[in-house]
Chain A
Amino acid sequence: MNEAILIAILVTVVGAATPILLAGLGELVVEKAGVLNLGVEGMMLVGAVTGFAVTTMTGATFIGIVAAGLAGAGASMIFGFLTLTLTANQVATGLALTIFGVGLSSLIGAGFVGQTVTVLGPLFPPALAEHEHLRILFGYDPVVYFSFAMTLVVAWFLRRTRAGLILRAVGENDASAHSIGYSVIGVRYMAVAFGGAMAGIGGCYYSLFLTPMWAERLTAGRGWIALALVVFAAWKPMRLLAGAYLFGVVMTLELHAKAAGFEYVPPEFLAAMPYLATIVVLALISLRKSVGAQAPACLGKPFKPST
């Protein structure tokens, strides 16, 4: 295999990993606060269609990305209101949010099917971005660098900042956090909004950079992979980064196998690999017993303050 192909493969892996990394980071923060939002897929779709629509209307990709984040956050607030304020069941509400997101994005996107947008180019000047070798490092769009930066920011936030400490406390023991005097519901709202925004941005990466166009169910179940990724990463941001790239490799297998003329395994099987890998990973993880790898103790439990 020559260098050019290797570089091309790497570029596709980065493309596949970036959106699930973004959505996964958001969900990681949400789960660290003790909330299980299964609506990632729905929020990604809402972000994907909003980002695409706004970009085609304004012509500015940056505005489109911001709008995608806001749309994702907005969708997550529906979930937040139902589960946090009305203490509805988080699993059922999250599933409903996904179904809602699929429908809403189809509705909004109906007029945009078949349109195209100009892809935003690499962040760095052509001398670097189009360099034969250096493009491995410098040849990507700004969102890729944003996803790396956010990994570091989330890791730093959770480990080093007081706000991060409070967020983790709320996820570990909501009753204690409440009795000390922290607003459990307030912290969870903010975490859910952040998760929504990140899922929205992750979603618009498909419609603005990867495809780039809008089609129904564009994210094709990647939101579920992002969810599994959070468990796989044991709620640790740096491991999430590694996991996203591992899944990025698995997700692009089909593509590369085709390109390499590899025909021993049906392509459908390779296309199904990421989902199979998700199941295998989750099954293996359930066998894991070490304490550091355990879910936040209050994950998925509704909290009603007693006064």
Chain B
Amino acid sequence: MSDGTTRRLDLKGITKAFPGVLANDDVSFSVAPGEIHALLGENGAGKSTLVKMIYGIMQPDAGEIRFDGELVHVASPKAARAMGVGMVFQHFSLFEPMTVLENIALGLDEAISYADLEARIREVLETYQLSLDPHRTVATLSVGERQRIEIVRALLLEPRLLIMDEPTSVLTPQEVAQLFDTLRALAARGCSILYISHKLHEIVELCHSATILRGGRVVAECDPRAESSRSMAEMMIGGALKEIEKAADRSFGVERFIVGGLSLEADDAFGTSLKDISFSVRAGEIFGVAGVAGNGQNELMLALSGERPVESAGAINIDGNPVGTLNAEKRRRFGLCAVPEERNGHGAVPGFSLSDNAILTARTRKNMVRLGVIDAGVAESYTNEVIGGFAVKTTGAKAPASSLSGGNLQKFIMGREIMQAPDVLVVSQPTWGVDAGAAAAIHQELVDLAARGSAIVVISQDLDELMAISDTMAVMNEGKLSRTLAVGEASVDEIGLLMGGVHGDPDATADYAGATHAA
């Protein structure tokens, strides 16, 4: 190498083709020992494919991987781990009905007794100041705690390279800060970290260097500390990033969507029951619901969309019509559309074509069905409108939903609902797993829809997103909704605390909040 030291990871000319697409094209970069290196790019830029090859899940078609200067062939994840490569996946590889201890044991290649393993886990937890109970069942843990299992699992192997794929997408600001402390401590011990994220301000804060991929090729290398989020986003998309355009003199109309005293029992053992939730959204207003996953957002989404009708009709009102007891299709007739968090299975049927998926929710509002018979032409032209209007990358209206990448499918589903011009739109995690360019486009569409007089509810764990687009917001914690705050009134720290920095203990929360205010 030019700087004369041995690089921890050195990639040269890595190329990987899938049928019809070149996922990685001649990718070369290197990571030094103890360096936190960001890998940036839009959805489909080839980041996941690249790290899968480093971790041995896939094999490159061409190119070489050097680890600590030695040419290696990473045949399997097991070989990668033996070499000293650990990985924390975006979608956790966890087994819900099993305990933390069992889950960690599964991630190790050697068989060691539970007693020894527990001792080693406690040692790692101690060293990195993490809290986790080895005997809890995974299904009962929060997302942050689940991620900690993955991290502990990787740390037990004393990795020399740790790959983190979108680690912060589901964490509270406090959990993110804690994660960064852990990663910095790890880097200080000489472990290299390859960090994939869409959140550019985090990259600026955490990473020492960055490689930017676009369309499978390396388009830039930079020092994030010398860049801004904006400049890196523009390198990623290869063009200027649009600001969200929000009219400064917005005014809100009448209350269109009123929720009062909404309660709902959770329908499974790990759910959170909703307790007496009340809020209202006016015409032209975007109302944000913040909160850490698992505090009742799923149940709220089900209740608002009509997937789970509630007992009291008056608990949910659209333009003065009580709709609480109605199902999703009947609510759609009153003008309520919804985009659930789960894309596959809730938002879309993976095996159906985009056109058929459009029929599923837009049939009534877009007159796709006449006398019980589907008018395929109308459905297809509406589908094409959505594909065009939201820049969905697909082969056409006949393509199955499962053939789209997560971000593209999300764009399609958002488009399908927004273009029905709903009076009330309820969306959960509108930009989960969507890259900066597409996220900006989705945000703009939401703002524009509100400007046309719709009332919008956005449930999201991404506080930055809510701060950027909502007019008012409230925080969910343990099935209860906080009072409504005007955006700009509350600081990120305060909202973070409401989100459960001191989870479930109101006194402690008050103390903590008091302490931060005093400081």
Q: Which residues of A contact B (CB under 8 A)?
A: 162, 165-166, 168-169, 172-173, 175-177, 179-182, 289-292, 294, 297, 307
Which residues of A have CB within 8 Å of B493?
none
List 8 interface pairs A-B (beta carbons < 8 Å), by A numbering. Answer: A166-B106, A169-B106, A173-B96, A180-B77, A180-B107, A289-B269, A291-B97, A307-B58
Q: Does B403 make an interface contact (CB < 8 A)?
A: no
B-side interface size class: 20 to 34
Q: Given that A165-B106, A307-B58 are known contacts, is A179 also in contact with B93, CB under 8 Å in the complex? A: yes
Q: A162-B111, A291-B269 are in contact. Are A180 and B106 (CB under 8 A)?
A: yes
Within 8 Å CB of B268, what residues of A? Answer: 289
Q: Are A172 and B269 in contact (CB under 8 A)?
A: no
Q: How far is the CB of A288 from chain B (nearest CB, A)?
A: 12
- A173-B94 in contact given A179-B77, A180-B106 (Cβ < 8 Å): yes
The chain B residues found within 8 Å of chain A, CB to CB, are 56-59, 76-78, 81, 89, 92-98, 102, 105-107, 109, 111, 139, 268-270
Which residues of B lie under 8 Å from residue A291 when comparing CB positions?
A: 97, 139, 269-270
A176 & B95 in contact (Cβ 8 Å cutoff):
yes
Decide: B269 and A165 in contact? CB cutoff 8 A. no
CB distance from B100 to the nearest CB of A (A): 13
By the criterion CB–CB under 8 Å, are B98 and A169 in contact? yes
- Report B-chain residues with C-beta under 8 Å of the C-beta of A177: 93, 95, 106
A173 to chain B, nearest CB (A): 5
Q: Does A172 contact B57, Cβ atoms closer than 8 Å?
A: no
Q: Is the interface of B mostly helix, strand, loop or mixed?
A: loop
Q: Are A297 and B106 in contact (CB under 8 A)?
A: no
Q: Is the CB–CB distance between A172 and B97 below 8 Å?
A: yes
Q: A179-B77, A179-B89 are in contact. Are A297 and B96 (CB under 8 A)?
A: yes
Q: Tell whether A176 pairs with B97 under 8 Å between CB atoms, given A165-B102, A169-B106, A291-B139.
A: no
Given the contacts A172-B98, A297-B96, A181 and B269 also touching, CB distance less than 8 Å? no
14 extra interchain contacts, Cβ-Cβ under 8 A, other than A173-B94, A175-B93, A291-B139?
Answer: A165-B98, A165-B102, A166-B106, A168-B95, A168-B98, A169-B95, A177-B93, A182-B106, A289-B269, A291-B270, A292-B97, A294-B97, A307-B58, A307-B59
Cβ distance B156 to chain A, nearest Cβ, rounded Å: 13
User: What CA separation (Å) do A166 and B105 show in the bound complex?
Assistant: 9
CB proximity of B284 to chain A, nearest CB, Å: 43
- A177 to B107 Cα, complex, angstroms: 9
Q: Would you call B93 and A176 a contact (CB within 8 A)?
A: yes
6 A-B pairs closest in CB distance: A176-B93, A181-B77, A181-B78, A162-B111, A172-B95, A179-B93
With a cutoff of 8 Å between Cβ atoms, the chain B residues found around residue A294 in the complex are 97
Instruction: Point out the residues of chain B lying under 8 angstroms from A297, CB to CB.
Output: 96-97
Task: Tell me the bound Cα distance from A177 to B109 in angstroms.
Answer: 12
By CB atoms of chain A within 10 A, which of B56, B58, B95, B111 has the most?
B95
B87 closest partner in A (C-beta):
A179
Closest to A305 in B: B57
Select from chain A the residue with minimum beta-carbon distance to B78: A181
CB contact under 8 A between A165 and B105, given known A180-B77, A291-B139, A307-B58: yes
CA distance A181 to B95 in the complex (A): 14
Chain B residues with Cβ below 8 Å from A169 are 95, 98, 106
Return chain A residues, CB-CB under 8 Å to B92: 176
Tell me which of B59, B95, B102 contacts A173 (CB under 8 A): B95
Q: How far is the CA of A168 from the CA of B106 in the complex (A)?
A: 10
The reply to whether B94 and A176 contact each other, CB–CB distance below 8 Å, is yes
Contact partners of A176 in chain B: CB under 8 A: 92-95
Chain B residues within 8 Å of A289, by CB: 268-269
Q: Please, which residues of chain B bring their CB within 8 A of the CB of A181?
A: 56, 76-78, 81, 109
B residues near A175, Cβ cutoff 8 Å: 93
For A294, the closest partner residue in chain B by CB is B97
Q: Which residue of B lies closest to A181 (CB)?
A: B77
Q: By the criterion CB–CB under 8 Å, are B96 and A172 in contact?
A: yes
Please determine whether A290 and B269 come into contact, CB atoms closer than 8 angstroms: yes
- Chain B contacts for A162, CB-based, 8 A: 105, 111
B58 to chain A, nearest CB (A): 6
User: Measured between alpha carbons, how far is A172 from B97 in the docked complex, in Å?
Assistant: 8
In the complex, chain A residues whose CB is within 8 Å of the CB of B58: 307
Chain B residue at minimum C-beta to C-beta distance from A172: B95
Contacts of B57 in A (CB 8 A): 179, 307
With a CB–CB cut-off of 8 A, which chain B residues contact A173? 93-96
Alpha-carbon separation in the docked complex, A217 to B170 (Å): 57
- B residues in contact with A182, CB < 8 Å: 106
Q: For B111, what are the chain A residues with a Cβ–Cβ distance below 8 Å?
A: 162
The residue of chain B having its C-beta at the shortest distance from the C-beta of A307 within the complex is B58
In the bound complex, what is the Cα–Cα distance between A181 and B79 (angstroms)?
9
Q: A155–B270 Cα gap in the complex (Å)?
A: 27
A169 to B95 Cα, complex, angstroms: 6
Closest chain-B Cβ to A185's Cβ sits at a distance in Å of: 14
Q: Please give the distance in Å from B407's CB to the nearest CB on chain A.
A: 18
- List, in ascending order, chain A residues with CB within 8 A of B109's CB: 181
CA A289 to CA B268, docked complex, whole Å: 8
